[in-house]
Amino acid sequence: MNAGSTTNGAWDGAGRRIHMQEVGTRDGLQVEARFVPTPQKIALVDALSKAGMAKIEVTSFVSPKAIPQLADGEIVLREIERAPGVIYSALVPNVRGAERAIDARADEMNLVMSASESHNLSNLRMTRDQSFAALSQVNAIARQAGVAVNVSLSCSFGCPMEGDVPFQTVLDWCGRYVGELGAHAVTLCDTTGMAYPTQVAKLTRAFRERWPDIELTLHFHNTRGMGLANVLAAIDAGADRFDASLGGIGGCPYAPGATGNVCSEEIAHALALMGYDTGVDLARLIEASNRLPALIGHDTPSQIVKAGRRLDLHPVPDDFDIIRERALARAP
């Protein structure tokens, strides 16, 4: 149990800070059939900044043939309004991507490879060792340019083609990035929603014990309905940073069966009720989420957009007075 829950009962956040990191404009839009026009992407990022997200993964600098939806990454990153304190990140798979990220003034490069060989080959067309070599070069370029680096390990909780990925494999790759490359920040990604709470707690604890000073992010997809449960299990095991996407959209087009990330407004709503300090203005976040269907051409999975917040109350039935009078007129 974390310090907050020990003093205030299980699941009481007691004002503990949880950093919410938005990935909807990258993980979300990369999988949409419709290309969201550049000005609308910029407006969406600006709305997310105003909603108080700690970090925003604005776009990716990957091959535009692989992900045509984000081919306008440079323009989006250059033209957003940067809010003080918000970190504007971009996903980078290779040296070409790093050059583009520096050119567009990304605050952080999110270097990506997979803990699973099959997913790495499908997604990045490289073996894991080739990815590590490419990302070592990217890391050196980022350092020279003074740009922060986060390393994301896809499929850390299971691979849709290989099944379970051994704990030790995940920790070994983390160890190589932290030890050999001097990475300060690592994200463990559940690319296709295979993570479950006890597994999440175990891996989070193992990571925290081994690298207490490394910034750890958990990235869950809600593919099997365990997203929020996984977030809570990770918090209890010592995590305080989570990726989430507006409306719960998202997914890797090169991971079979992938669906959306955990939904930003659902996580922010739940954590606020439980007394955590996410820094998020929920009303603004919901307002931003309400814009999505018009941009992507379909509804999102967001339960909060459908149902409203817990205390968004509804009027009583029109004939409520009659119901009450009849009830009161009956014998006790």
How far is residue 139's CA from residue 151's CA, in Å, rounded to a whole number? 10
Q: What does R_g of the chain's alpha carbons equal in angstroms?
A: 21
Which partner, Zn ion, ligand COA, none, binds residue 62 by CB below 5 to 8 Å per kind?
Answer: ligand COA
Minimum CB distance to ligand COA, residue 22 (Å): 16
How far is residue 301's CA from residue 263's CA, in Å, rounded to a whole number? 8
Query: Which residue, 63 or 290, is less far from ligand COA as judged by CB?
Result: 63
Task: Name the strand (E) or helix (H) holding 102.
Answer: helix 95-103
The string of DSSP codes covering 266-306 is HHHHHHHHTT-B----HHHHHHHHHTHHHHHSS----HHHH
- Mark whether 252 is an active-site residue: yes
Contact call for residue 220 and ligand COA (CB under 6 A): no
Query: Which residue, 49 or 187, is less far from ligand COA as judged by CB?
Result: 187
Minimum CB distance to Zn ion, residue 156 (Å): 11
Report residue 25: phi and psi, to 5°. -75, -10
Which partner, Zn ion, ligand COA, none, binds residue 177 by CB below 5 to 8 Å per kind?
Answer: none
Contact yes or no for 22/57 (Cβ under 8 A): yes
Residues 21-50 that bind Zn ion (CB under 5 A): 27
How far is residue 210's CA from residue 205's CA, in Å, rounded to a whole number? 9
Contact yes or no for 149/139 (Cβ under 8 A): yes
Minimum CB distance to Zn ion, residue 26 (Å): 9
User: What x-and-dash track marks residues 98-127 binding ligand COA by CB under 6 A?
Assistant: --x-----------x----------xxx--
User: What x-and-dash track marks residues 177-216 binding ligand COA by CB under 6 A?
Assistant: ----------------------------------------
Stretch that binds ligand COA, among 38-46, 93-101, 236-244, 269-277 (CB under 6 A): 93-101
Residues near ligand COA (CB under 6 A), total: 21
Query: Which residue, 52 or 193, is less far from Zn ion as judged by CB?
Result: 193
Q: Which residues are CB-contacts of 60 (< 8 A; sequence separation ≥ 6)?
A: 26, 30, 67, 70, 73, 90, 91, 92, 93, 97
Residues 10-49 that bind ligand COA (CB under 6 A): 30
How many residues does the structure list for the chain? 332
Active site residues: 252
Where does this chain bind Zn ion (CB under 5 A)? 27
Where does this chain bind ligand COA (CB under 6 A)? 30, 60-67, 91, 93-94, 96-97, 100, 112, 123-125, 252, 254
